Amino acid sequence: MEYQYLFGPVRSRRLGRSLGIDLVPGNICSLNCVYCECGTTIHITRKRGEYASLSRIQQELDHYLRIKRDIDYITLGGTGEPTLHSGISAILEYLRKHHPEYKRAVLTNSTLLHDPAIRDEIKTADLILPSLDAVSDDIFQTINRPPSGITAETMVDGLIALRKEFKGKIWLEIFFIPGVNTTDEELHLLRDAAVRINPDVIHINSLSRPGAETWVTTLTDDEKKAIQSFFIEQFKNTQII
């Protein structure tokens, strides 16, 4: 069978051997991040829909998992924002019922998490990996280039609510661009937001492959270590990686 929506398993830095499901093929996203490895977002939207056929995803999963596979996670992600897929809860439920031996992870850019219905739809995952790259509006605009109506403040509120409601693990990712969200002021704002979100793990990340914009640069090892130390000061039980 030729897979249209499944990819991998890929060796992921955070997830080990991860079988991906692309729920939003064709760069459909609610953000247009300057560091995006998929390039410039083709279709920026907050509108949800069945961007990938639900029945086809189920068929591909059944076919691929007809024999026991050595994978750590089945990851709902892709080349855009997976919570834009209106069937995300159906896919998680399908996996739980038909392939319960595999752990389920959801990647999200956090833009829709202020909506209680969407938080409810992803609650059966084992692990949620949300992103937050800025708290100040101007830096959020510079890095994530959202459509109107999406603000960093609503994302932080959504993440705090998710933490209160979700029983699984939350691994927060913060993507740093030197000179943009690495100022003292923004680092304090991000750390304060992270304390309020209270994730299980914080991943400090920066560019490793070419992004959508050529001006985006990566953290040096020393810069990364300094940011990790800055975060560690405020956390006892959260792992900072």
Query: For the residues of 99-135, what is the DSSP string, one character each?
Result: -TTSEEEEEE-STTTTSHHHHHHTTT-SEEEEB---S
Rg (CA), the chain: 17
Q: Which of 8, 14, 26, 38 binds ligand SF4 (CB under 6 A)?
A: 38
CA 8 to chain centre: 17
Our finding on whether 205 is near ligand SF4 (CB under 6 A) is no
Q: How far is the CB of 205 from ligand SF4 (least distance, A)?
A: 11
Candidates 15, 33, 128, 162; binder of ligand SF4 (CB under 6 A) is: 33
Rounded distance between C-alpha atoms, residue 123 and residue 175, angstroms: 24
| Shortest reach from residue 182's CB to ligand SF4, in Å | 18
Between 18 and 109, CB nearer to ligand SF4:
109
Give one word for 33, left, alpha or beta, with left for phi > 0 and alpha for psi -120 to 50: beta
Single out the segment in contact with ligand SF4 by CB under 6 A; choices: 6-14, 29-37, 190-198, 218-226: 29-37
CB of 234 to ligand SF4, least distance (A): 26
Which of 31, 159, 197, 202 lies at the binding interface for ligand SF4 (CB under 6 A)?
A: 31
Residues 6+ apart with CB under 8 A from 120: 89, 165
Residues that bind ligand SF4 (CB under 6 A): 29, 31-33, 36, 38, 41, 80-81, 109
